[in-house]
Amino acid sequence: MSHLTDEARAPYRGEAGALPGPDSLEAIVAENPTRRTLLRNGLFGLSVLPAMALAACDDTSGDPTVVVPPTPTPTPTPTPTPPPSFTASFAAVAANQDDRVTVPNGYTVDVLLKAGDSVEAGTPYSGSFPATPAIAEKWAGGNHDGMEYFAFPGVDANNRGILAMNYEYPDFNILMAGTYNPATATADQKAIALSAVGIGVVEIAKGSDGKWTVQPGSTYNRRYTGNSSYRAGGPAAGLLSGSIKGMLNNCSSGRTPWDTYLTCEETMDNYLDPTQPTRDYGWVVEIDPLRELAQPTKRTAMGRFNHENVAYMANAERRVAFYMGDDTTPGCIYKFVPDRAFSASNRAANTDLLDYGTLYVARFNGDGTGEWRALVVGQNGLVAGAQDPGNVSQSTTPPAPTTVNFNNQADVLINCQSAARVAGGTVMDRPEWLTVAPDNKAIFCTLTNNSGRRVTDPANPRVTNLHGHIIKFREEGDSPLATKFSWEVFLTAGDPSLSSGGSNLVGNINGDTFSSPDGLRIDPQGRMWVQTDHSVPGNSGVAGRTIDQAFGHNAMFYVDQVTKQSKRFLVGPLGCEITGLAYTPDLRTFFVNIQHPTGNWPVAGQQPRSSTIVVRRTDNQPVGN
């Protein structure tokens, strides 16, 4: 969560389509259906060309002739090309407070897309505020956050694909003069502010020089903003507006096995336009980057809360679970299990899959076991007159319970945070990103921090948790359908140099230390990447020492899952958060987001702007090696 978001929404918190063009790839594929192949298993699902059978010539004329072959000359055995290495052998970069993106020697950084650049055809930002909302509506939004990379059918995704990215909060410094006040904003000012949230979808390609660029004019380039219209699906859809205005606070994201984009609303009201119904916000929104399936839909069966991201686990029977965190201080961890298996051969058959299923909340028991408690009306105390215990972790004096009426499943989903507490879910220290190991044997969640915690439990072991921790759990039988799991605290963040402020500030990181883990992803080679979001300048816990002085700017780290050795891979510029991570199938290209920089980056002499960067090795080997 951007600190800018937290500040902007605080006064308003009531609760804790066009078709592709004729020259597009889609149209070409439509004319030749044999080229349309399902994108399977995320970004590695490119179709494999069948092997060509070799037909032998057969001479059947006359009697067979016996030919004694000459003694063959030995053919030299070619030297095999060694497979690429994915060992995280890079030399760690030092913590710093430079106003640039720092990466290891042998790496390059290119800026791909800045706030205010054109997504759809139009006039990009060039130093002056947009004249009309229609102009801003075509720009890349602000505070770039989670993102996913998608392949085209039949196209080498290592060279060309689609990037979908979230815009959490406007970069107001390029939108309007002064501060934004929703209570006094004009209709045009509201529209301009809302243009800068939502998501952007862009087709990107790698040139002969190795650099990636947005492909202008692509039929896939599309903005979905806070002014666009959305529909709702699932059990609570009837209680939302028939046509919902906008999505907001698009924080992190995820994807489905059938390659749609899941963008997450990290707010339960529209604080940029408080006249809108609060129930319309706080949902996971499913969007198809190829625009083949349903229009963008808020999936109410997945619950309403301050969504951070979505990560999925699938099994061989095509059953799938989606894991989600509620970025609330404190919030719970959830998973949603659809009622049926997804189709691996017909994307359209999955159109409503996320509207039917069971939502669960995680309960972490003190003995290292855990259970998923169903958030279903009539079960686990979810009845009329239920007593919500409230946020019991934030005070040594328990708050007075409040009465919540769960009369139907829509009530459960709309009041999901209360339902989770009533059902006995464990309130965690701001659950942000979750990631699932490729072999389904581990799930990790970043618990960014909770400086207000006063009552601990085994899964949240520190009062005044300034620096956060990461929790690891494993489903029983490594199954997405499991209702039980085991868990452990994987690591606690902090730094030994802060010991004068108390043992809670030290942590147990082995190697390069960090504070406030946020972005989290295990890549297909099983390497864990952690991105940080400590407040800027922030409190380190030691008087007279800022958090940047203790840890440097926010950064991205590789963390070994066995030794827990941490290595700093990338450091961001002044004032920023590091967030968002996507990559090409060969892992030779990483896409990373730099959110709300405040200095002289990315273009010297211009306003600072949130941006998506491309990180590559100069020798074209996999990133991290």
For 86-123, what is each residue's pLDDT tens digit? 999 999 999 999 999 999 999 999 999 999 999 999 99
Q: 478 vs 162, 238, 443, 475, CA distance in Å? A: 31, 36, 10, 5
> In the Cβ-directed half-sphere of 152, how many Cα atoms lie within 13 Å?
23
What is the pLDDT, as a whole number, of residue 74?
Answer: 64
pLDDT at residue 8, as a whole number: 82
Give per-residue burial for 234-257: e unless 16+ CB within 10 Å, then b: bbbbebbeeebbbbbbbbbbbbbb
Query: Is it the case that residue 44 has pLDDT exceeding 50?
Result: no
Lowest average pLDDT, out of 24-38, 101-115, 242-256, 359-373, goes to 24-38
Confidence of residue 153 (pLDDT cuts 50, 70, 90): confident
Entry field: residues in the chain: 625
User: Which stretch of DSSP H or E encloses residue 586?
Assistant: none
Measured distance CA(383)–CA(363) in Å, rounded? 19
Contact of 534 with 517, CB cutoff 8 Å: no
**What is the rounded average pLDDT of the residues 444-471?**
98
Write down the pLDDT at residue 70: 55
What mean pLDDT value characterizes the chain? Answer: 91
Q: What is the pLDDT of residue 83?
A: 86
Tokens of 105: 């020697």
Reported as a single tens digit per residue, the pLDDT across 373-417 is 999 999 999 999 999 999 999 999 999 999 999 999 999 999 999
pLDDT band for position 65 (cuts 50, 70, 90)? very low
Sheet holding 589-595, edge to edge: 107-114, 611-617, 589-595, 577-583
How many whole angstroms separate alpha carbon 101 and alpha carbon 215?
24
pLDDT range class, residue 2, cuts 50, 70, 90: confident
Q: What is the pLDDT of residues 498-517, one digit of tens each?
A: 999 999 999 999 999 999 99
* 465 strand-pairing partners: 450
The whole-number average pLDDT for the span 143-150 is: 98
Please list the residues that pair with 324 across neighbouring strands: 310, 334
The answer to whether 46 and 151 have CB atoms below 8 angstroms apart is yes
Concatenating the DSSP letter of every residue in 253-268 gives EEE-TT--EEEEE--S
68 has a pLDDT exceeding 90 = no
pLDDT in tens, 515-546: 999 999 999 999 999 999 999 989 999 999 99
Hey, is 150 helix, strand or coil?
strand
Q: Which residues pair with 253 in a beta bridge?
A: 263
pLDDT reading at 606 higher than 50? yes
CA distance 262 to 134: 26
pTM greater than 0.85: yes
pLDDT score of 250: 98
Give 172-228 pLDDT, tens digit per residue: 999 999 999 999 999 999 999 999 999 999 999 999 999 999 999 999 999 999 999
**Cβ atoms 550, 538 nearer than 8 A:** no
